[in-house]
Amino acid sequence: MKSMSIKVSAFATVSNVGPGFDIMGFAVDVEAEEMIVNLKEKPGIKILKSLGNKNQYPLNLEKNTAAVAVKKMLSFLGLNIGVEVRIKKKIVPGSGLGSSAASAVAAPFALNELLGRPFTKKDLLLFALEGEAAASGSFHADNVAPCLFGGFVLIREYNPPDLINLPVPKNLYCTIIHPQFSIKTSEARKILRKEYSLKDVTVQSGNSSALIAGIMKRDFELVKRSMNDLISEPARSKLIPGFYEIKEAALNAGAYGCTISGSGPAIFALSDSERNARIIGHAMKKVSDAYKRKNIVYVSKINLSGPVVKG
């Protein structure tokens, strides 16, 4: 077998989406990473050091999300070949924007392309979930599913995965502010309460259901009323300096809801135009800069493509 190579890009994702803890996520047009995958005759998986920037991911095959996903895929196919993976992170791990999920998705996607597409994207999700679990310590698809399929994804069930891709309003924009520090997903999950009152569960269920309805009906006022999270935000907001002030600034600037993306520290806000999204980003950054000197703002529509082959 001669050496073969492919370069792919995977995109950032917003997960939880307010009340949708572990069951909602969407992709944005912000490149999370660029990955080069090479096939080799000598068997074995190798994770190469990062291109052009400091190493930002584990090289250990048991902890690297790309390596775990590739290993599961090769085992399923019964192939004993060599795979080299080189990752260039565009968003650092621990961002709340699906950095580890991007690796877990990009690697099996790229390998599938090199092998002539023996799997559908639905099949690839299972390998990506295995990879993501290596980073987070649990199986959850609210980053990997939108990263793989694009769009706004609802996860109804995990065993087996049952995904619903929601119709996305054309004028839905997302503003993200990413303070430049990291929060480990596994640690952020530990601080969540283990039990919730029936009242909280009822309110959370109502908000998540209404959020879905708001997205499908293109009713931004309903989206705004529904972006109330009683599970993740109260606990994880303590990890993000100035969170509630940043949220207030976004809402005052016209956002239809604002909360933490995934485990944080990234914070996202929704709006109905690019102009408004940029005004919201400016307001959020002005507040966040008082707490963290380095913040990055992204403004994007919902990404509908999933990972893409480059060059």
Which tens digit of pLDDT belongs to each residue from 155-164? 999 888 899 9
User: What's this model's pTM, rounded to 2 decimal places?
Assistant: 0.93
Q: Which of 27, 144, 104, 308 is nearest to 85 (CA)?
A: 104
What angle is formed at CA 140 by the lines to CA 139 and CA 143, rounded to 5 degrees? 135
Q: Which of 279, 280, 23 is nearest to 269 (CA)?
A: 280
Residue 53 has pLDDT above 90, yes or no: no
Average predicted confidence (pLDDT) for the chain: 93
Strands 173-179 and 295-301: antiparallel
Decide: 28 and 303 in contact? Cβ < 8 Å: yes
Element (H, E) at 38: strand 24-40
Strands 82-89 and 152-158: unpaired
Residue 185 has pLDDT above 60, yes or no: yes
All structural domains of the chain? 4-166+304-310 (3.30.230.10), 173-301 (3.30.70.890)
* pLDDT for residue 293: 82
Residues 6+ positions from 92 with CB-CB distance below 8 Å: 56, 99, 180, 182
Element (H, E) at 87: strand 82-89
What angle is formed at CA 29 by the lines to CA 173 and CA 103, rounded to 5 degrees? 135
What pLDDT, in 10s, does the model give residues 16-47?
999 999 999 999 999 999 999 999 989 999 99
Residue 299 has pLDDT above 90, yes or no: yes
* pLDDT for residue 182: 92
Residues 6+ positions from 5 with CB-CB distance below 8 Å: 36, 37, 38, 39, 114
* pLDDT for residue 56: 67
Residue 112 has pLDDT above 90, yes or no: yes
How far apart are the C-alpha atoms of 224 and 41, rounded to whole Å? 54
Q: What is the CA radius of gyration of the chain?
A: 19
Residue 201 has pLDDT above 90, yes or no: yes
* pLDDT for residue 3: 56
* pLDDT for residue 179: 95
Token reading at 184: 């480990």
Please give the share of the chain, as a percent, with pLDDT higher than 70.
Answer: 96
Catalytic residue among 13, 65, 185, 259: 185
Residue 13 phi, psi (nearest 5): -135, 150
Assess whether 132 carries a catalytic annotation: yes
Catalytic residue among 132, 175, 233, 259: 132
* pLDDT for residue 186: 84
Assess whether 185 carries a catalytic annotation: yes
What pLDDT, in 10s, does the model give residues 233-275?
999 999 999 999 999 999 999 999 999 999 999 999 999 999 9
